[in-house]
Structure 1
Amino acid sequence: MTPTSPERRRKLTLSEAFRIFLRQPSPWIIATLFVGALIARVAVGDWQLTDALVPLIMLALFPVVEWIIHVTVLHWRPRHLGRFTIDSLLARKHREHHTRPGDIPLIFIPWQTFLWLIPALVAIALLVFPRPAMGLTFLLILGVLGLNYEWTHYLIHTDYQPTGRIYKAVRRNHRLHHFKNEHYWFTVTSSGTADRILHTYPDPGETPNSPTAKALHSAA
């Protein structure tokens, strides 16, 4: 008797993926920042036309900022200064993420990062912008961008199959970064605009497979 072939594993639905997403700490931390900024923004008032520039500029710059953070912070190569090693938690966790891209906790921003990141962002909002209201708008939009980043990055690393053309491109590019060559395709939430501008968007067919895509900075 011919053995029955194993049943193909069922694909994750979007609602199932969302329930898993809600069990992670970083979306809740970012959502708390968003809600707090929203309440404060409404309470402060002081609505002016210049507030509309904040989301427009942030949305325009975010792909490039995302690229810079990915290249310089997440792909940081450990440096040695005498007996000390300069290596951040974000960089260490990102190397682990490349080693085990399907490990769900490693997909998300480590919660410990927010212990310094949120105070730093609040200080920027209060000290850099000309009006507190504008700074609160900055925090508000940053919360939206942060939640979108965490959701998009998480969904890319699940087996959920996208249907939209843009999200298919986003997913394809990031998976090329992880499974083909870690030196290219650094954007996560966009379809590669910053990569094209910064010359890290090669033709996949002409790009060699990297032996260190799952072991960043190791010898080939």
Structure 2
Amino acid sequence: MKAYLKEFWTDKRVMFISLMFIIYSCSALFTPYEPWSWTAVIGGVVFFFFLEYFVHRFVLHGFFAKIMPKAHVGHDAHHHDPLNMTFLLTPNQYNVPYHFLLWVVFSLAFWSFHLGSSVMAGFTAYHLYYEWSHFVSHRPIQPITPWGKWMKKFHLLHHYKNDKHWFGVTHPVLDSVFGTDPSQNEIEKTVTTPVKKDSKQGNAN
């Protein structure tokens, strides 16, 4: 387990997200408190909660892949080689611009650097949780909680059963809402992820 913790936390992408979480948190803590501070933090969590599903389904797999072709190619590479750390986490070429862009957008939208930082602190905390959940799904790590174990199996269905369904990595809520969480028996097995004999990441069935 120590080796996997080291692999995750020393990755440059995770280090960047962690650094931004510290910066956002300090920016929120050392600026005047506002009544909506914690609501802003929760709002950031909820924003990523939705972003996770829509980016995965419509940008990495769907029509909007044409808008970000490199992201689509990188995600396709992840499906063909899910154990490869290069394609497992969100690249910093996207992390860096969208973190700073969203920080500016939220700060201007609320006309408050404090609230903008609070939103981004919540957003980034959930982003770290997302990256860890995705990392665990493709490593021989047994999640501690029943929820973690269930979500790992849920994500592996997307890889090894049908990549047109089960887009959630940290939650199945939007899959349930939009009908992309069908019964396994109803769906034909059509995947792009090869099953490797030496794979210890888990079993989707």
Scaled to the shorter chain, the TM-score interval is 0.7 to 0.9
Does 1:70 find its partner at 2:51? no
8 Å Cα contact 2:31/2:114 also seen in 1: yes
Structure 1 residue 76: Cα displacement: 4.1
Counterpart in 1 of 2:132? Answer: 151
Query: Match for residue 150 of structure 2?
Result: 169
2:22 matches 1:35: yes
1:22 pairs with 2:3: no
Q: CA deviation at 1:138?
A: 0.7
Distance in 2 (alpha carbons) for counterparts of 1:167 and 1:207? 24
Give the Å deviation of 1:55.
2.9
C-alpha separation in 2, matches of 1:120 and 1:53: 21
Q: Which amino acid aligns with 1:59?
A: V
2:71 aligned residue: 90
Please identify, of 51-60 and 96-105, the stretch whose mean Cα deviation from structure 2 is larger.
Answer: 51-60
Percent same amino acid among aligned pairs?
22
The answer on whether the counterparts of 1:126 and 1:135 sit within 8 Å (CA) in structure 2 is yes
Q: TM-score, normalised by structure 2?
A: 0.86
Which residue in the other structure is 1:3 paired with?
Answer: none
- Equivalent of residue 209 in structure 1, options 176, 183, 189: 189
Runs of 4+ in 1 over 6 A off after TM superposition: none
Matched residues in 1 for 2:80 and 2:153: separation? 19
Measure how far apart 1:38 and its partner are: 1.6
CA offset digits 1:143-188 (Å, max 9, x no partner): 2111111111111110112242101111011000011100110011
Aligned to 2:201: none
> Take 1:93 and 1:100, find their aligned partners in 2: how far apart are those partners?
10
2:170 is the counterpart of 1:189? yes
Contact residue 156 and residue 171 of structure 1 kept, 8 A = yes
Is structure 2 residue 42 aligned with structure 1 residue 53? no
User: Any idea what the Cα deviations from partners look like across 1:7-37, whole Å, max 9, x if unmatched?
Assistant: xxxxxx2x22111112311111111111111
Aligned length: 193
- Is the Cα–Cα contact under 8 Å of residues 161 and 188 in structure 2 kept in the other structure? yes
Amino acid at match of 1:157: H
Q: Is the 8 A contact 2:59 2:68 kept in 1?
A: no
Equivalent pair of 1:180/1:213 in contact (CA under 8 Å): no
TM-score (norm 1): 0.80
Is this contact kept in 2: 1:63–1:194, CA < 8 A? no
What is the Cα-based RMSD across aligned positions, in Å? 1.9
| Uncovered stretches (5+) of structure 2, i.e. residues with no partner | 195-205
Code of the aligned partner of 1:51: S
Larger radius of gyration: 1
Instruction: Return the structure number with greater helix share.
Output: 2
